[in-house]
Amino acid sequence: MTKHKSRREFLGETTGFAAATLLATHAVGGVHWGNDDSIQVALVGCGGRGSGAARDALSVNRGPVKLVAMADVFEDRLKSSHDALSESLTKGFDVPPERRFSGFDSYRHAMDCLKPGDVVILATPPAFRWVHFTYAIEKGLNVFMEKPISVDGPSSRRMLELAERSRQKNLRVGVGLMSRHSRALQELARRVQDGELGEIISQHGYRMQGDIVTFRSTPKPAGISELDYQLRRFHSFLWASGGAYNDFFIHIIDQLCWMKGAWPVKAQALGGRHYRAQKSGVPYVDQNFDTYAVEYTYADGTKMLFDGRNIDGCQERFSSCMHGTKASAIVSALGDCGLPSGIFSRRDFRRDSAIWSSDVPEAEKNPYQNEWNDLIAAIRDGQAYNEAKRGIEASLVCNMGRMAAHTGREISFQEMLDCKHEFAPGVAELTKDSPAPVLADADGKYPVPQPGIVTDREY
């Protein structure tokens, strides 16, 4: 049996982009295996978003696509995803027991079921993204990876190098920032680029809601390891997900940067843990702030203001807009990329001031399906397609805003990229028996950001 290099050995043996040559530099074109033109897919990370991506993959308009392998750290999550998919999918689902894998090394076994040019879905918590992306490149696989992509400076730098390797190898890489595949937002971006808004003056993004998914956590219960607990509640831990800021807010932030055609160069922010009311007398011990208010600044001085909140009982708002010297625009009317997008002559978006409103054909209204249609079309047509770099940069912008709030300092894009604090430096070597990257104190509480006190790192 061939001995696989460890992830650290693979990264450590090469510098710069030289590894791309070692991995092979030939282009991977359209996929045709014998008489079967199916593109095979493996799912790594069987949570809700991974299962949703698998459904979208098997529903593309240029099939056939087959799901042939599945992997997850947790066997129960693997089973529940397999059972749900097998019941809902009528074609393209072929994952027998011998191609279902659990454990920390399960991603390797799932990818080993594929041929070069097939597709792997990477939908685990983002702490593992660089580890899994490394192996996918080594195997010559096209990739669909969920957002966010990186959670700190070191993982961002590592992912940028991997993105360049994937580009040199001509792999197709899709990133789950589905707003970029909203036909309404694509048309709005074209109109903004053509000058219909004039010069952009300001941008405003909001995701204000209650407690969702695993935003909050109480002390670890008995009968589960610290590592398993943190992975099952990954939104609560900065090392695993980048916290609520990265996972919840990235779509609105990314789409406004897209409309501006630039990434912010710096951020200053406010945030805090306001109430942290006890649940039945048990405290919440996660690492998230309840509120974030961030002022991003572009190189030309334009501001993007983002407000995020997770407090029950407050007014909810989930949308994005921007103002220009000629007109204003609703980017997302409701949600991450809710229809309709529109351009208005007035800044209060009165209906009688509407200049343009998006009109999307029914078949293209679902941006989650669009991103898969676009990826598979590029694979079949042998077209260049790689969203990795901009996905990493969008994640960096989120890291920058989050760190500004957590430290109480202005943080630049470059400072975030150069930051040496790595949340989980041993993530590539984790096993079920490993200690967790962050540990609780005697009261079951995890370290939290302390703005103005701890200023060179986030906790």
| Token pair in block for residue 378 | 């590029």
Specify the CATH class of 183-365+396-429 in words. alpha beta
Q: What is the pLDDT of residue 83?
A: 97
Strand order in the sheet with 173-175: 100-102, 65-72, 39-44, 119-122, 142-145, 173-175
**Which residues, in sequence order, are CB contacts of 45 under 8 Å at separation 6+?**
71, 72, 121, 122, 123, 124, 125, 146
Cα–Cα distances (Å) from 32 to 40, 87, 137, 171, 172, in that order, read 11, 28, 20, 16, 16
pLDDT at site 280? 66
Token pair belonging to 347: 């800044």
Peptide bond into 64 cis (omega under 30): yes
Q: What is residue 452's predicted lDDT score, i.e. its pLDDT?
A: 97
Measured in degrees and rounded to the nearest 5, phi and psi for residue 445 equal -100, 140
**Identity of residue 322:** M
Quote the strand ranges of 64-196, DSSP E.
Answer: 65-72, 100-102, 119-122, 142-145, 173-175
Per the rule left: phi > 0, alpha: psi between -120 and 50, beta: everything else, 75 is: alpha
Q: Per DSSP, which regions of 52-116 are E strands?
A: 65-72, 100-102
- Predicted local confidence at residue 279, as pLDDT: 63
Question: What residue has token string 């098997």?
Answer: 58
CATH number of 10-179+369-385: 3.40.50.720
pLDDT digits over 221-242, tens only? 999 999 999 999 999 999 999 9
3-state secondary structure of 309: strand
Which residues does the chain have with pLDDT short of 50?
1-35
Structural tokens at position 320:
């994005």
| In the chain, where the domains are located | 10-179+369-385, 183-365+396-429
pTM of the model: 0.91
Which candidate, 12, 224, 4, places its Cα nearest to that of 105? 4
pLDDT value at residue 248: 97
Q: Give me the pLDDT at residue 228, please.
A: 98
pLDDT for 24 equals: 35
Q: Do domains 10-179+369-385 and 183-365+396-429 have the same CATH topology?
A: no
pLDDT score of 199: 98
- Quote the distance between the C-alpha of residue 179 and its chain's center: 12
Decide: 387 and 243 in contact? Cβ < 8 Å. Answer: no
Separation in Å, CA 405 to CA 113, 189, 263, 273: 43, 29, 18, 11
The pLDDT value given to residue 278: 66
Residue-wise pLDDT tens digits, 273-328? 986 666 667 789 999 999 999 999 999 999 999 999 999 999 999 999 999 999 99
Pair of tokens at residue 292: 């974030």
Reduced DSSP (H G I as helix, E B as strand, rest coil) percent helix, strand, coil of the chain, to 5? 35, 20, 45
